[in-house]
């Protein structure tokens, strides 16, 4: 027994020291500017890849790893899928342990990216090869490359449109409202499903801003330099007017507060819902739920602009942990994943960031439509839109004011559409002056 | 080596060593997971930290002056009033059931189990259960139609005048079990012979409740009231899971979470958390002072 006591003492001490040490541990960071060898035979190590795709992590990703190992036999790839990706990665990023390769959370402010991610190359090196890399660029260095390039608009059920007697695909907001009305009058389907309760689905509307503006310059160039962002006649006003009018005229689901995202996909696939405003990434998911995938179509967002511009946007960007101990292996995985996995088309429901990739077949009917990425912000104005947005608590990419619009439209609030837009514009102007100080 | 053997130390040295050894781990845990975050929260509340950056600036009392100068941030306390009113319903029900079940009744333990069960459930599960419950044509509507109250069905979560009542109702369902079990414990600590004596004197059940049970559990009643009121002020999980604060159901804590994680204003959100902490402390103090005055 006496001896045991000594052991207990030792163990207790160990436990305490380890508790205290946990707060201050952490190895030295690897040397910056290390030469990265690209010869597959030289690359060794074990890497962890974080992904948001809980649905295919044990199937498709395992196959990717097997394919990858044919070229790089000495690299072991582990996967971790996180259900609440943004939330969990955010917490892990306060430590050094957030995988070797991961998707850059969209909420990380651009200016802070170099603290967490390793540069993958300079803009000049990569601009010929990939689309959409400007989004995560700091001082000419590229920190993330899009895993999928998606486009946004309205996803609709062709059969429902046919049953409703809609002869031509609606192009302007008026035609769109008329089409929704026809769906309501002639079918049992919900004309426009908002997915109010899930919240994030409402943020998909913001992606259609360039289509309404009819220009790829609006978002990053014009918007941060105007005091009239939510004024009647301007893109934001027109964009959300579509949502407001639809809700006001009873063309949305009966009780928005109890919508359910998972079942809405099946309902659209099976003709219980006519339209939803989403990104192209949803198309493959919806098609997978029906026997007649050809019924699912894509519409550019209704607009009065003379040119129809469908914005191409980057889905999650793949990046490398700056604290990774196997950077060459991580880089090899990123390059292989982008070039050879065909993830973008098969799993991402969009197209590859590779410049040579072709448009998917669902877009064949839109020969007169321009598909283009957004113009990056002017020098010195990078991330300015986000800054104004956060300062003013407006939430361009948050569901809050979209919910407010729906609530006002179904008379749950006593404010009008113009009241909401005025309030948003006041916040915008105030935040802009605040930041200009 | 000789001094490594604890048994060779003096009695008081051994005593001190053992007390320290046994308390150091709980204290370390308490400090790491309770006090350190609070200290950091105070620190962040004076900064403009966005939650990610390795850098942040100290901005003095700017966050606090922003909270107190903008009525928008305090408007959400109106929602807390619903939960505050629900608190009394909750305690009334809990006291009623606790009293009944402390007398001799058939199936007593079964009912105790049923009443306490909701408190054991995970808050997220409860959120989802009640989402289905309140859905149009969901459980509640079906139930009302079955008993002939079909014309009174509402959009329970869709109607902004009712949503907070619905949510507070779910909250009552969830937390009543906790109040109930505490009341039950307090009531069962009353000596049996007091009841016997009152029976001999011819007291009925109501008189027993009024003159024996109620005076014996005043302390516990006060404690539950304090807990319930601070709970109402900081109501969070049920509305957050069920509606995410939309349609006019936003509470102060939900607003704090949104500011921190949607708009990257960790500094401002920390300041709001500090303000909430002080409000809860204040309410507790006021209650203690007024309750003391009664005695």
Q: Could you tell me what percent of chain A has a pLDDT over 70? A: 90
Q: Coil, helix or strand for B15?
A: helix
Which residue of B263, B265, B267, B272 is the best one to mutate when testing the A interface, meaning the one whose CB has the most A CBs within 10 A? B263
Intra-chain end-to-end CA distance of chain B, in Å: 61
Q: How far apart are CA A368 and CA A293, in angstroms?
A: 24
Average confidence (pLDDT) over A269-277? 94
Q: How far apart are CA B291 and CA B163, in angstroms?
A: 33
Q: Nearest 5 degrees, angle CA A35-CA A40-CA A43?
A: 55
User: What is the chain B residue with the closest CA to A23?
Assistant: B32
Q: How much is the ipTM here?
A: 0.70
Average confidence (pLDDT) over A322-339? 91
The phi, psi pair for A77, rounded to 5°, reads -110, 125
* Interchain CB distance below 8 Å, B264 and A109: yes
* Interchain CB distance below 8 Å, A254 and B157: no
Q: How far apart are CA B49 and CA A338, in angstroms?
A: 35
What pLDDT does residue B290 have? 76
Query: Which residues in chain A are contacts of B52 at CB distance < 8 A?
Result: 90, 93, 107-109, 112, 116
Q: Mind telling me how many Å the CA of B234 is from chain A's nearest CA?
A: 21
- pLDDT at residue A25 greater than cutoff 50: no
Look at residues A160, A208, A204 and name the one whose alpha carbon lies nearest to residue A186.
A160
Q: Chain-wide mean pLDDT for chain A?
A: 85
Residue B169: Cβ-neighbour burial (10 angstroms; 0-12, 13-18, 19+): buried
Query: Which residues in chain A are contacts of B4 at CB distance < 8 A?
Result: 6, 9
Q: How far apart are CA A305 and CA A206, in angstroms?
A: 17
Residue A25: count of CB within 10 angstroms of its CB: 10
Query: Which residues in chain B are contacts of A16 at CB distance < 8 A?
Result: 24-25, 28
What pLDDT does residue A23 have? 44
**Cα-trace Rg, chain A:** 25
The phi, psi pair for A156, rounded to 5°, reads -140, 165
**C-alpha pair distances (Å), A230 with each of A121, A226, A381, B235, B262:** 38, 10, 20, 34, 21
Q: Which of A256-265, A301-310, A362-371 has the lowest mean pLDDT?
A: A362-371
Q: How far apart are CA B285 and CA B218, in angstroms?
A: 17
Could you report the per-residue pLDDT of A148-202, keeping only the tens digit for each? 888 889 999 999 999 999 988 899 999 999 999 999 999 999 999 999 988 888 9
Could you report the per-residue pLDDT of A365-413, keeping only the tens digit for each? 777 788 888 888 888 887 889 889 988 989 998 888 999 999 999 988 8
CB-based contacts of A421, cutoff 8 Å, min separation 6: A230, A231, A232, A236, A237, A240
Owner of token pair 């109607």: B159
Could you report the per-residue pLDDT of B154-185, keeping only the tens digit for each? 888 888 889 999 999 999 999 999 999 999 99
Cβ–Cβ < 8 Å for A184, A268: no
Could you report the per-residue pLDDT of A191-249, keeping only the tens digit for each? 999 999 888 889 999 999 999 999 989 998 999 999 999 999 999 999 999 999 999 99
* Interchain CB distance below 8 Å, B262 and A413: no
Could you report the per-residue pLDDT of A115-149, keeping only the tens digit for each? 999 999 998 888 888 888 887 888 889 999 999 88
Residue A299: Cβ-neighbour burial (10 angstroms; 0-12, 13-18, 19+): buried
Categorize the per-residue pLDDT at A24 as very low, low, confident or very high, splitting at 50, 70 and 90.
very low
Report chain A residues touching chain B, CB-CB < 8 A: 2, 5-6, 9, 12, 15-16, 19-20, 23, 87, 90, 93, 107-109, 111-112, 115-116, 196-197, 199, 254-258, 389-390, 393, 395, 398-400, 403, 407, 410, 412-413
- Give CB contacts under 8 A, 24+ apart, made by B149-156: B155/A254, B155/A255, B155/A257
Look at residues A296, A400, A353 and name the one whose alpha carbon lies nearest to residue A129.
A353
Q: How far apart are CA A123 and CA A323, in angstroms?
A: 22
Nearest to A255 among B155, B262, B264 (CB): B155
The phi, psi pair for A348, rounded to 5°, reads -95, -15
Beta bridge partners of A51: A81
* Interchain CB distance below 8 Å, A112 and B248: no
Instruction: Identify which has the larger pLDDT, A275 or A25.
Output: A275
Query: Which residues in chain B are contacts of A18 at CB distance < 8 A?
Result: none
Query: Which residues in chain A are contacts of B21 at CB distance < 8 A?
Result: 9, 12
Q: Mind telling me how many Å the CA of B284 is from chain A's nearest CA?
A: 33
Residue B233: count of CB within 10 angstroms of its CB: 18
- pLDDT at residue A362 greater than cutoff 80: no
Report chain B residues touching chain A, CB-CB < 8 A: 4-7, 21, 24-25, 28, 32, 50-54, 131, 134-136, 138, 155, 157-160, 163, 243-244, 246-248, 258-259, 261-265
Q: How far apart are CA A334 and CA A323, in angstroms?
A: 16
Look at residues B45, B76, B40 and name the one whose alpha carbon lies nearest to residue B60.
B45
- pLDDT at residue A423 greater than cutoff 50: yes
The encoded tokens of residue B163 equal 């949503």
Q: Which of A46-55, A294-303, B3-12, B73-82 has the lowest mean pLDDT?
A: B3-12
* Interchain CB distance below 8 Å, B50 and A109: yes
CB-based contacts of A330, cutoff 8 Å, min separation 6: A47, A100, A101, A118, A320, A321, A324
The encoded tokens of residue B198 equal 């009152």
Q: Mind telling me how many Å the CA of A197 is from chain B's nearest CA?
A: 7
Q: Chain-wide mean pLDDT for chain B?
A: 88
* Interchain CB distance below 8 Å, B160 and A5: no
* Interchain CB distance below 8 Å, B244 and A199: yes
User: What is the chain A residue with the closest CA to B136?
Assistant: A255
* Interchain CB distance below 8 Å, B28 and A93: no
Q: How far apart are CA A427 and CA A393, in angstroms?
A: 8
Which residue of A12, A202, A257 is the best one to mutate when testing the B interface, meaning the one whose CB has the most B CBs within 10 A? A257
Q: Mind telling me how many Å the CA of A19 is from chain B's nearest CA?
A: 8
What pLDDT does residue A14 have? 54
Q: How far apart are CA B21 and CA B27, in angstroms?
A: 10
Q: How far apart are CA A86 and CA A239, in angstroms?
A: 27
CB-based contacts of A102, cutoff 8 Å, min separation 6: A49, A50, A51, A89, A318, A319, A321
Query: Which residues in chain A are contacts of B261 at CB distance < 8 A?
Result: 87, 90, 107
CB-based contacts of A235, cutoff 8 Å, min separation 6: A209, A212, A213, A218
Residue B49: count of CB within 10 angstroms of its CB: 23
- pLDDT at residue A13 greater than cutoff 70: no
Q: Mind telling me how many Å the CA of B218 is from chain A's nearest CA?
A: 42
Q: Nearest 5 degrees, angle CA A47-CA A49-CA A55?
A: 145
Cβ–Cβ < 8 Å for A145, A130: yes
What pLDDT does residue A210 have? 93
* Interchain CB distance below 8 Å, A15 and B264: no
Q: Mind telling me how many Å the CA of B132 is from chain A's nearest CA?
A: 8
* Interchain CB distance below 8 Å, A407 and B160: yes
Could you report the per-residue pLDDT of B196-251, keeping only the tens digit for each? 899 899 888 889 889 999 998 988 888 888 888 888 888 898 999 888 888 888 99
The phi, psi pair for A76, rounded to 5°, reads -100, 125
User: What is the chain A residue with the closest CA to B250?
Assistant: A400
Q: Nearest 5 degrees, angle CA B9-CA B13-CA B19?
A: 125
Cβ–Cβ < 8 Å for B267, B48: yes
Highest mean pLDDT among A52-56, A259-263, A433-437, B15-19: B15-19
Look at residues A147, A92, A120, A155 and name the one whose alpha carbon lies nearest to residue A310.
A155
The encoded tokens of residue A66 equal 């097997």
**C-alpha pair distances (Å), B223 with each of B31, B189, B243:** 26, 16, 30
User: What is the chain B residue with the closest CA to A15?
Assistant: B25
Q: How far apart are CA A148 and CA A341, in angstroms?
A: 12
* Interchain CB distance below 8 Å, A412 and B32: no
Nearest to B52 among A20, A108, A196 (CB): A108
Could you report the per-residue pLDDT of B83-134, keeping only the tens digit for each? 999 999 999 999 999 999 988 888 889 999 999 999 999 988 999 899 889 8
| Length reported for chain A | 437
The encoded tokens of residue A7 equal 């052991």
- pLDDT at residue A421 greater than cutoff 90: yes
Cβ–Cβ < 8 Å for A372, A209: no
Intra-chain end-to-end CA distance of chain A, in Å: 72
The encoded tokens of residue A367 equal 């020969």
Residue B24: Cβ-neighbour burial (10 angstroms; 0-12, 13-18, 19+): middle
Look at residues B109, B269, B80 and name the one whose alpha carbon lies nearest to residue B167.
B80
Angle, helix A400-409 to helix A417-436, in steps of 10 degrees: 160
* Interchain CB distance below 8 Å, A403 and B32: no
What pLDDT does residue A329 have? 92
The tally of CA atoms less than 13 A away on the side-chain side of residue A344 is 30
What pLDDT does residue A32 have? 43
What pLDDT does residue A22 have? 44
* Interchain CB distance below 8 Å, B158 and A256: yes
Could you report the per-residue pLDDT of A304-325, keeping only the tens digit for each? 988 888 888 888 899 999 999 9
Categorize the per-residue pLDDT at A350 as very low, low, confident or very high, splitting at 50, 70 and 90.
confident
Look at residues B17, B78, B101 and name the one whose alpha carbon lies nearest to residue B233.
B78
């Amino acid at each position: 027994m006496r001896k045991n006591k000594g052991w207990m003492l030792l163990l207790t001490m160990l436990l305490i020291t380890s508790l205290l040490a946990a707060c201050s541990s952490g190895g030295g960071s690897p040397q910056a500017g290390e030469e990265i060898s690209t010869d597959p035979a030289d690359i060794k190590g074990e890497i962890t890849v974080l992904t948001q795709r809980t649905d295919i992590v044990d199937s498709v990703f395992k196959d990717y790893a097997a394919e990858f190992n044919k070229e790089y036999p000495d690299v072991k790839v582990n996967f971790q899928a996180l259900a609440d990706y943004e939330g969990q990665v955010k917490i892990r990023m306060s430590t050094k342990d957030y995988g070797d390769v991961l998707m850059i959370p969209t909420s990380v402010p651009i200016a802070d990216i170099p603290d967490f991610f390793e540069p993958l190359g300079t803009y000049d090196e990569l601009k010929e090869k990939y689309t959409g890399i400007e989004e995560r660029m700091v001082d000419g260095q590229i920190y993330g490359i899009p895993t999928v390039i998606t486009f946004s608009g309205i996803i609709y059920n062709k059969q429902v449109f046919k049953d409703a007697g809609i002869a031509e695909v609606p192009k302007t907001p008026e035609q769109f409202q008329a089409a929704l009305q026809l769906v309501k009058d002639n079918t049992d389907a919900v004309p426009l499903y908002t997915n109010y309760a899930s919240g994030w689905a409402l943020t998909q509307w913001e992606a259609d801003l360039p289509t309404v503006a009819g220009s790829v310059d609006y978002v990053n160039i014009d918007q941060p330099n105007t005091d009239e962002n939510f004024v009647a006649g301007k893109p934001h006003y027109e964009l959300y007017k579509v949502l407001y009018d639809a809700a006001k005229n009873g063309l949305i689901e009966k009780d928005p507060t109890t919508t359910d995202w998972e079942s809405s996909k099946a309902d659209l696939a099976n003709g219980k819902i006519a339209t939803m405003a989403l990104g192209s990434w949803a198309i493959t998911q919806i098609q997978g739920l029906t026997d007649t995938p050809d019924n699912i179509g894509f519409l550019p967002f209704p607009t009065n602009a003379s040119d129809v511009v469908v914005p191409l946007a980057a889905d999650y960007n793949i990046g490398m942990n700056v604290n990774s101990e196997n950077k060459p292996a991580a880089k090899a995985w990123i390059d292989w994943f982008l070039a050879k996995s065909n993830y973008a088309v098969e799993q991402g429901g969009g197209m590859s960031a590779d410049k040579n990739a072709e448009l998917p077949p669902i877009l064949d009917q839109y020969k007169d439509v321009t598909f283009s990425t957004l113009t990056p912000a002017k020098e010195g104005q990078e991330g300015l839109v986000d800054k104004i947005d956060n300062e003013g608590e407006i939430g361009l990419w948050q569901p809050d004011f979209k919910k407010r619009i729906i609530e006002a439209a179904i008379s749950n609030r006593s404010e009008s559409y113009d009241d909401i837009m005025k309030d948003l514009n006041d916040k915008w102007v105030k935040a802009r002056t605040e930041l200009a100080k | 080596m000789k001094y490594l053997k604890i048994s060779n130390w003096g009695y008081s040295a051994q005593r001190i060593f053992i007390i320290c050894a046994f308390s150091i781990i709980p204290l370390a845990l308490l400090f790491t997971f309770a006090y350190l975050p609070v200290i950091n929260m105070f620190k962040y509340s004076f900064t403009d930290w966005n939650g990610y950056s390795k850098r942040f600036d100290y901005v003095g009392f700017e966050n606090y002056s922003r909270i107190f100068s903008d009525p928008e941030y305090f408007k959400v306390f109106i929602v807390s009033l619903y939960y505050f009113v629900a608190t009394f319903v909750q305690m009334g029900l809990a006291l009623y059931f606790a009293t009944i079940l402390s007398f001799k009744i058939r199936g007593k333990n079964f009912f105790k189990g049923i009443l306490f069960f909701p408190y054991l459930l995970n808050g997220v599960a409860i959120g989802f259960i009640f989402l289905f419950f309140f859905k149009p044509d969901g459980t509640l509507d079906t139930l009302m139609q079955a008993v002939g109250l079909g014309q009174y069905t509402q959009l329970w979560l869709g109607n902004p005048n009712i949503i907070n009542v619905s949510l507070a109702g779910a909250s009552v369902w969830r937390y009543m079990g906790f109040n109930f079990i505490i009341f039950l414990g307090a009531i069962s600590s009353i000596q049996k012979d007091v009841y016997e004596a009152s029976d001999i004197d011819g007291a009925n059940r109501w008189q027993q409740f009024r003159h024996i049970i109620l005076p014996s559990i005043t302390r516990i009643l006060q404690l539950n009231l304090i807990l319930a009121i601070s709970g109402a002020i900081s109501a969070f999980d049920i509305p957050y899971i069920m509606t995410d604060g939309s349609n006019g159901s936003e509470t102060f804590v939900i607003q704090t979470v949104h500011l921190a994680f949607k708009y990257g204003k960790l500094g401002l959100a920390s300041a709001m958390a500090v303000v909430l902490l002080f409000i809860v402390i204040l309410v507790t103090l006021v209650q203690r002072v007024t309750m003391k005055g009664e005695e």
